[in-house]
Structure 1
């Protein structure tokens, strides 16, 4: 129950971040990168419907199509985020209507239009969730064609982004292309940062105090191997363990005080498969 509550809070937080970045920075500048919200910008140009309302209708229709084609299991994982995103965009449009961008700096605006939705998407991907939209189109394409999800997403996003050159002007189209190019890199970097952990190799003569601290104070596991010093020939031990960033600081400080002669190698890792760690 605790894990489900944490997942629910993270999904809500990530979706709200996406909504803020999309409404306040993407819609007002007519940036067309990023799936359904990018398509909504194009449709809004016709004046028939607003970008927020089109996003709501399109996402609801895609959810229905996804349920019919991909099954109820798919909807269970996607419906909440997709509905929350759509409803939030519509509410923001009515509560805080915007007729122009916040600033007269397009580059500053495009950076926020990229960064906020990318962070939200990274959090969702990291916990196995999705905001729907073109993700649904991509998964349907994968089911009936030879495209994988990555290629299908790229295909739909590129088509929508290129259309911005014809609907708007060259400057807006170029900013949209820039956003599309940077967005995927940011998502990958955000995911890596969210999962960043520290891998320890500790070479020491007395492993017991260090292992006790890891197990009882940090509540983590460790592996101890016998070793021998190449220069001195004396018996040594190597302790292997993986910790989050806060735990890594505590262990490093403890070893410095408890065994100043210990040799410590600390490296960054963002993909750990095993109990107690989230695998991406």
Structure 2
């Protein structure tokens, strides 16, 4: 069941990525890095070769090269995401095409295209998958030329952006470079937002009831610390628990009902690994 959920989320992410590329970036010749950007440049010179078709061919070739040079270390999810994105883009181009940009504002199209596709990429990455393409190129550069993965990805995207500059002109090339930069921030923010949980610290005279609610109603474990009040010198229990946003709202409303004088602090935690949260895998 968990695997099915992961593949459903990957597919949703791929639809977002494809929509951002097909309906915002491609109509405006905004080749913002990646195999999709390279496909747009190639499509300009060979119009009969659609973006989706080129991406499918390029990803197949890259997987074969990576298998030979790096080894069979690519997971099923990455293969699915890579080929799935090419297929979804091909379907959108074939059955739901657009003949011209949605607006005449290039910056607006870039922002929406990057936000939508970046959000989709964040969803895909959060399921421990990638869409292949320049990720594979980066791994090859890392193995044979000892670039770290981040720099290798930047190099491959910059090469694609340079191709866009030569093909579509300086203005669109500069917009494409801006898109590459924004895309990285969007992906990071989406991943952090999805994984964010609340660390809640509670000091109350009704700790026993609160502990029972957390364990029985929310199904979460908790940690107990012993603290001493600086003003009263009184020793008290402090409960510490990690919760999703929805669970925190339920706990807050419960505490409000039974002890409206309770002392609560809440912090955002960007990632949690372990039982009840993300697996280390």
Note whether the superposition's TM-score is higher than 0.5.
yes
CA drift of 1:28 comes to 1.0
- The CA deviation string for residues 202-250 of structure 1, in whole angstroms up to 9 with x for no partner, is 1123321111100000000101122222212223110010000000011
Which deviates further from its counterpart, 192-201 or 94-103? 94-103
| Preserved CA contact (<8 Å) 1:271 1:279 | no
| Preserved CA contact (<8 Å) 1:134 1:156 | yes
Question: TM-score scaled by structure 2?
Answer: 0.94
CA drift of 1:279 comes to 6.5
CA drift of 1:117 comes to 1.4
CA distance in 2, matches of 1:96, 1:222: 50
Show the counterpart of 1:252: 252
Show the counterpart of 2:15: 16
- The CA deviation string for residues 91-117 of structure 1, in whole angstroms up to 9 with x for no partner, is 222113333212212122111210111
CA distance in 2, matches of 1:232, 1:279: 42
State the secondary structure of the residue aligned to 1:192: helix
CA distance in 2, matches of 1:234, 1:253: 27
Which deviates further from its counterpart, 249-258 or 93-102? 93-102
CA distance in 2, matches of 1:140, 1:174: 27
Which deviates further from its counterpart, 44-53 or 173-182? 44-53
CA distance in 2, matches of 1:250, 1:6: 25
| Preserved CA contact (<8 Å) 1:20 1:116 | yes
| Preserved CA contact (<8 Å) 1:53 1:90 | yes
- The CA deviation string for residues 34-77 of structure 1, in whole angstroms up to 9 with x for no partner, is 21001111111113522222112111211222233333340523
CA drift of 1:177 comes to 1.5
Show the counterpart of 1:111: 111
How many residues are treated as equivalent by the alignment? 279
CA distance in 2, matches of 1:173, 1:279: 40
Show the counterpart of 1:84: 84
| Preserved CA contact (<8 Å) 1:226 1:237 | yes
| Preserved CA contact (<8 Å) 2:20 2:112 | yes
CA distance in 1, matches of 2:274, 2:176: 40
CA drift of 1:8 comes to 1.0
Show the counterpart of 2:171: 171
CA drift of 1:12 comes to 0.9
Show the counterpart of 1:38: 37
CA distance in 2, matches of 1:189, 1:133: 22
| Preserved CA contact (<8 Å) 2:7 2:77 | no
Query: Unaligned regions of 5+ residues in structure 2, if any?
Result: none
